Each structure stands twice: as C-alpha cells, then as structure tokens.
Amino acid sequence: MNQSEREAAKRRAAERAAEAVEGGTVVGLGSGSTAAHAIRALGREVDAGLDVQGVPTSFQAREIAVDEGIPLTTLDEADVDLAIDGADQIAGTDLVKGGGGAHAREKIVDAAADRLLVVVDPTKEVDVLDDPVPVEVLPDARTPVADAVGRLGGRPELRRADRKSGPVVSDNGNLILDCDFGAMPDPVGLAADLSALPGVVEHGLFVGFADEVYVGTETDVTVFEP
C-alpha cells in the first residue's frame, strides 16, 4: 500500500466511523490525520443538522472542530458517549498512540467514553506491538525517567521539533520521550511500570481500549469488535 492508498484508507475508515455517531450524543474527537477525517465528516453532518457536541483531545482536534462548526463541551460538563480516535499501532484491543504527542488528553477522553472507535489503515495492524512508546514527562523528570526507561529495557529518545532547534513541547507544556522497547508481548506489565514512574504524565500504551476497529482497505472498510 503506497502513501496515497494509505491516506485514502484512513479517510474511508474515519468517514465510516463518523456514520456511527447518533444525534443527541457527545463525541470524543481524536487527534492525528485519520481522526481529522472523522472530525471533518462530523462537521458535514452538523452542517446537515446533526445535533452533537464534541470533546477535543488536542489543540489540533479543537481547531478542526471549531473550523467545522462542531459545538464543543468538556468532561466537566458532559459524559462522552463515543470517541473516535486513530492509533499508531493496534494489536487486538491494545494500542500504541501518541505519534502526535496528544496521548495524555486522548487517553483521558478515550477512557471516559462509553465506546472507543479506533480508525486505522491496515499497516497499523500487528500481532505484537513494537512501535516506540511515547512517554510524556514533566520537564524536570526528563533524565530520571529516561534512566528508569533504560532499566526497564527501553531506549528513550527525546522527541525533537522538525523546524526548531529544541524539543517538541506537548499541549500540556511537557516533553516527550519516545521509548523503544522492541516487541512488547506484555503491554499490561509495561504500562503499569511506566505509569508508576514519578514525573510521567502519561504514556502511549492504551491497553484494552479498543471497542470497535474500523480498518480502511483499498476499496472498503472492515469493522470488527476485537
């Protein structure tokens, strides 16, 4: 699957998931290029009269939703019925997320939702997760967390900005360590170990999160409950 086929597959999956949104509901708005397609599709539905409110998971999701005219709310004011979000990798119900550095708020909103619809292209599906795990850390915790990740068998790398000499700063003002653990046959244990480190705000292992998976193929969308 080349890049343009992947982009088409992402769009197909996202637009199909957006069709699952019913009127009168509150929707978690995921981050990344695939979730952006879902937000735009939802925007078109809102234009056509659908009554929904969105809870954005990032600066990016909020900007697109505002642009699309989707009414917004917060977790303080509403319960989330359903969230639509992308992933960097998926194995069963487990995900690696955080390619866009938004995993802290994504995890809060996705966990609060009654149902999480994960939208991906087929290259994201794997048997065993092995993508580097993004770990958002308070700036003061960067070195102690990097050392602890090394003791857990991972190789941490500070995420750097493309067009600025310096680190990527998350929407929450923190730094991101991309931690390569190789294949992760026990994401439950690793997730618990990472969560226990002082200074870790959130990591990108979403264990047991996916309720429904929408995989865009070259011509269609496969939907399943893992």
Residue numbers annotated as active site: 106
Unique residue bearing structure tokens 């009654």: 114
Is 171 annotated in some ligand binding site? Answer: no
* x-marked contacts with ligand 5RP along 1-40 as a string, rule CB under 6 A: ---------x-------------------xxxxxx-----
Query: Over 169-225, what HEC string results?
Result: CCCCCCEEEEEECCCCCCHHHHHHHHHCCCCEEEECEECCCCCEEEEECCCCEEEEC
Q: How far is the CB of 30 from ligand 5RP (least distance, A)?
A: 6
Residues, the chain: 226
Cα 55 from chain centroid? 14
Residues 6+ apart with CB under 8 A from 126: 89, 90, 91
Q: Which of 46, 54, 70, 85 binds ligand 5RP (CB under 6 A)?
A: 85
Is 216 annotated in some ligand binding site? Answer: no
Whichever of 52 and 118 has its CB closer to ligand 5RP, that residue is 118
Q: How far is the CB of 120 from ligand 5RP (least distance, A)?
A: 7
Strand, coil or helix: 136: strand
* x-marked contacts with ligand 5RP along 97-136 as a string, rule CB under 6 A: xxxxxxx--x------------------------------
Residues 6+ apart with CB under 8 A from 204: 88, 95, 96, 97, 98, 103, 133, 134, 135
Q: How far is the CB of 103 from ligand 5RP (least distance, A)?
A: 5
Whichever of 84 and 146 has its CB closer to ligand 5RP, that residue is 84
88 binds ligand 5RP, rule: CB under 6 A: yes
Q: Which residues are bridge partners to 65 per DSSP?
A: none
Is 170 annotated in some ligand binding site? Answer: no
Residue 20 is given by DSSP the state T
Number of residues that bind ligand 5RP (CB under 6 A): 19
Residues 6+ apart with CB under 8 A from 154: 133, 179, 180, 181
Q: How far is the CB of 4 from ligand 5RP (least distance, A)?
A: 14
Residues at the annotated binding site for substrate?
Answer: 31-34, 85-88, 97-100, 124
Binding residues (CB under 6 A) for ligand 5RP: these are 10, 30-35, 85-88, 97-103, 106
